[in-house]
Amino acid sequence: MHLVRLATLLCWTATAAATEATLRSGWHHEHGVESKLVTTARIAHSPLPRLDLDASLSLALVRHAGVAAWRLGAAYRLAGAWNTTAFAGLQHDQWNDWRIGENRALALLVVSPFRPVSLGWGIAWRAPVLDPDQYASPFAWRSDVPEWNLVYRVGWRVVDRPRLTAAAVVSNITPTRFYSPQHVAFRLEGSLRLDPAWRLELHLGTAAKGLSAMLLSVNEFTAEVGISHDL
């Protein structure tokens, strides 16, 4: 029933409000934990000049086959010299083979003190869902082990041209994932405009896990390629 409600909301958003649709597919591997092929569909709309809304749904193959994650988000660009954006969102992850999930609510403020660099910080509420009957529910906010975490994001746009953009990002959050404090995640995000309506996207990521003191272990890799279309 919860999944039906979410699908209805996503379909309504797609038909009534979408201005951009993105389909992205890629491989995620975490050594000793999981490897899976994930396909994500995302829709976005700007009902007001400075307001952006988006929703996404991810499906997994190989391991944890089925629905993997979904997300609803809103971003508002504030007036000011630092190009400040306030973001709020809801996320849900689920691991079907283990029958566990996690719901999150987060808020983030991103500023750009000068053009190539963006800095973000915020807070997130995480509610692991350990009840097998509730693990797929984005509405199961009661948890025996809930926690608050800080959210951070540092981005540097290394290429910024009309047709081609590329950015390096250090952050503990992505549109569908949230990393625990002992992880430091790195991503490269590229976009190539093929024509006025179509855009090719490429995302590469990894994460270093802190073991002790200054010792880090790189044990996670993600590669995704996608296509976006302006509606």
How high is the pLDDT of residue 44?
95
Range of the domain at 20: 2-230
pLDDT digits (tens, 9 = 90+) for 167-186: 999 998 887 788 877 778 89
Q: How far apart, in Å, do the first and last CA atoms of the chain sit?
A: 30
Residue found by looking up tokens 């999944």 in the block: 3
Model confidence, pTM = 0.85
Q: How many domains does the chain have?
A: 1
pLDDT digits (tens, 9 = 90+) for 61-114: 888 999 999 999 999 999 877 889 999 999 999 999 999 999 999 999 999 988
Q: What is the CATH number of the domain that holds 143?
A: 2.40.160.40
Q: In this structure, what token pair is assigned to residue 131?
A: 């009840």
Burial class (CB in 10 A: 0-12, 13-18, 19+), 132: exposed
Long-range contact pairs involving 23-26 (C-beta distance under 8 Å, separation at least 24):
23/226, 23/227, 24/201, 24/203, 24/224, 24/225, 24/226, 24/227, 25/224, 25/225, 25/226, 26/203, 26/222, 26/223, 26/224, 26/225, 26/226
Which is more confidently placed, 5 or 141? 141
Residue found by looking up tokens 């002790």 in the block: 212
